[in-house]
Structure 1
């Protein structure tokens, strides 16, 4: 006989059904947002593998349609679109053109699947010839002159049918500018998911191949956040909520779980995280080498987001996870 009392935590772990009964967090289809890269091209069969992101592609409109159709069959609930235009210029004009590639993609998707939540990434970097997220003057990214262009891009996306816009540029005041323009044009009920807490991260590398958005000079450290800062994240989130953001995003995801937790504890709003390209590619590479069980690691990483306080997760693993959940 053991002469002392102790906690018997194993009582609730003895079988799979019992573990499921007391499980605190779970992943559901409505928690996940799938990113897609759509390319402006005359080649309807264009489907280009992204070499640094195995399993992900740049897609023509027709190929995007096929990909989304397959994902809808898996119970896809929402997606976010990134566009690669045929031509880029200094002001990123295709971002706010009515016939821009993302606007075309939005119209196509909403026409075929009106129930899908379509989110538009609102930024200029994929559309500018210099690869930065704002207008350039004397080698510097200009904040205030960029705001009107971002607002015009958001308006073009919403007019095309986007259910939500997601400004990712990190210009100060862009949420207020977008909210003002959308409200003025009658789109008062269109929510904004702000990339409020977006770090100048080394984990973005593969995305720049996918979106063809590598800066042609310098870097983005003057407008994206220093990875060493946590308290600054609270100021950024508070400012965007005051300006009219409805959802606060933290990007990247797993390296910033502590920040996600701080945002969750500090603000009573939906919280999103972006499991970015570098996170995706690291897991894919380890799995390809047989070092980890891909499905198990992916599900564990997503549960970590939920445990930290996320309501929504943008992840390139969305389609794979939907297959897992559907089994």
Structure 2
């Protein structure tokens, strides 16, 4: 029995739709029939060779589906269970895992994501995927398979907000890069793509979505304490934008690096600003312990409201065979998210 999947071949510098044998479940594994899978910015970084990944594998780490086979020793799952996937590998025994800081796993993320789904082992851009049970989470009955494919990216967003803390409610917030997230009231989104600006403005959240040039113009005519920001969240992963944004921070401000920049990229910032303004710089690496709460909290709670209209969020559905068009629309900024529908 065969299936289709999107194969990344680093040597050939090519993503292609190929035929594969359907995987089987080894001991401690399950096989998932993939229902929906999302394209992440990390997938684009992998294809640009800006992010560590295997040389030849099926991509895709944001997906949901139904279990069709369980391997020996698996007792917590059964055939027919509706599930989503956490792509992160952890060893469970290094100094970071023993302290509950699993996103810093010495043998996982800090060792080039060994065994990470869709980066080091075959992922969800295929009809079926075999995974160890540690990567798998059951979906709540109120969470659809469609919304299940958004659990992983939303769990990362939840981690970002946890790391950000609780800025005062009157904080002026700037988000670099328009996606499908929300937050405070005085929020500006800096986004060069007109299509994504229109999507952000159409969400009805009361946010402003402007071209980066308009942000720069604010600072040409005003002092940073008057026109600057208390919180800046980078979702773009674009180093020049990150570097420039440090000049827009008010005293006591927080900068959250949420977007994944190319692994070898560098920026230059003024350390005197960090000292004199008492700036807080925060990173956000993956989603430690946020998958269960995202399934039962955020995604379940938003499924009938914020996540009910994908078109308003700029999320577009594609068949697996339409992968080239999906990637092209993402790169052009015409959509905020692309999801593959792999259901029969």
TM-score (normalizing by structure 1): 0.29
User: Larger helix proportion, structure 1 or 2?
Assistant: 1
Greater fraction strand: 2
For normalisation by structure 2, the TM-score amounts to 0.28
